[in-house]
Amino acid sequence: MFKSIGICSVCLKDMPIFQPNRRIFLEMPDIDCRKNPPFLIILVTSCRDQIKTRMAIRETWGKERVVTDKRIVTFFLLGSPSHYQDGFTIMMESLLYKDIIQKDFLDTFYNLTLKTLMGLEWVHTFCPQSSFVMKTDSDMFVNPLYLMELLLKRNRTTRFFTGALTMQAHPVRDPRSKWYVSKEEYPWNKYPPCCSGAAYVFSTDVASRMHIISKKIPFFKLENIFVGLCLSHLRIKMEALHSEPVFFVGRIEFSPCRYRRLVTSHFITSVEMLLFWHGLEKSIDEECP
C-alpha cells in the first residue's frame, strides 16, 4: 500500500538536509491530547526497514480502538537513518499514518536508550493527559484489551510501573559480548532491579518523572538498565499487574484461550501477528476453561 506513493528524484533533491538537533522532533503523531486524551499509549521501538512489521501492527494489536470510552493508540519510535533518502521514506510514511515519533539520532542498538527517552519526552510534552504508557518492541504480540482490563482492575493511577521482572543482573565484562560494559561506563558490580526491555507499562506521571530525572543520571547505553536506574532514583518499585504472569519475554505458542489471558508474547513475525490476531477475533465468543 505504502509503496504506491511514487518517490520522484526531483523531490529528493529538494529535501532539506537534517540538522542534528536533539531537541526537535522530526516526526510526530497527529493527536491533540488536550481534547481527547488516550487511556493507553503504546510506544513501539522500530527502525526504518521494519515497514512490513509496522503495517502488521497497524492492522492488528496496534490499531487505534476505543473500548468503553477508553482510547488505545500505538506510535512507533524511530531514529534517523544514515541515508537521507531513507529519511524521506519515513517522512512519507509518517504523513500517511501519522503514528511516528522521530528525532535526529543514529538508529543503532546502543542508541536504544535515546529512543526510549524520546518517547518519554514526547509523552511528557505532548500527552501528559493520557493515563498509561507501554513501551514495547516490534517483534512482540501485545493484547491491548487484556492489558487495559488489568490496568482498570489494578486501579493505580500514579507511581505505577509494571512489566516482566528480571533477576538482578551483573554487568558483562567480556568485550566480545553485545552487552559488554566497561568499568568506566558502570563501575558497580550489580545492576538495579528492573524489567525486561521488551515490554513494560507505567502510569503517565512516571513518564514525566523519568524524563526529568534522566537528565541527572549519566547516560547508559543499555536501555532497560537505564530505566532501572531512573526508577531507583525515583524510589519507584516494579509491581505485579496481576496475580499470574502476563508479560512473557519468551514466545508463547498460540491458542485463543492462552492469548486472551496474556499481555505480551515475544519473537512473533508480522505474518504471525495477522494470524494470531484474526484467531483471537474469530474465537471471541468461544468459552475458555
Contact footprint for ligand NAG (CB under 6 A) = 105-106, 108, 110-111, 155
Write down the least CB distance from residue 142 to ligand NAG, Å: 24
Residue 175 CB neighbour total at 10 angstroms: 8
Question: What is 128-154 written as a DSSP string?
Answer: TT-SEEEEEETTEEE-HHHHHHHHHHH
Q: How many CB atoms lie within 10 A of CB 218?
A: 8
Residue whose CB is less far from ligand NAG, 108 or 269: 108
Nearer to ligand NAG, 105 or 267 (CB): 105
Q: Which one, 52 or 237, has the nearer CB to ligand NAG? A: 237
Helix (H) or strand (E) holding 20: none
Q: Which cell numbers in the block locate residue 126?
A: 505532548
Q: How far is the CB of 11 from ligand NAG (least distance, A)?
A: 24
Cell, residue 128: 501528559
Q: In the complex, what is the shortest distance from the CB of residue 155 to ligand NAG, in angstroms, rounded to a whole number?
A: 4
Least Cβ distance, residue 25 to ligand NAG (angstroms):
14
CB of 179 vs ligand NAG, minimal distance in Å: 14
Nearer to ligand NAG, 24 or 106 (CB): 106
Cβ closest to ligand NAG, residue 19 vs residue 155: 155
Q: Where are the alpha helices (DSSP H) in the chain?
A: 9-14, 51-59, 84-97, 112-126, 144-154, 204-213, 223-234, 256-260, 270-282
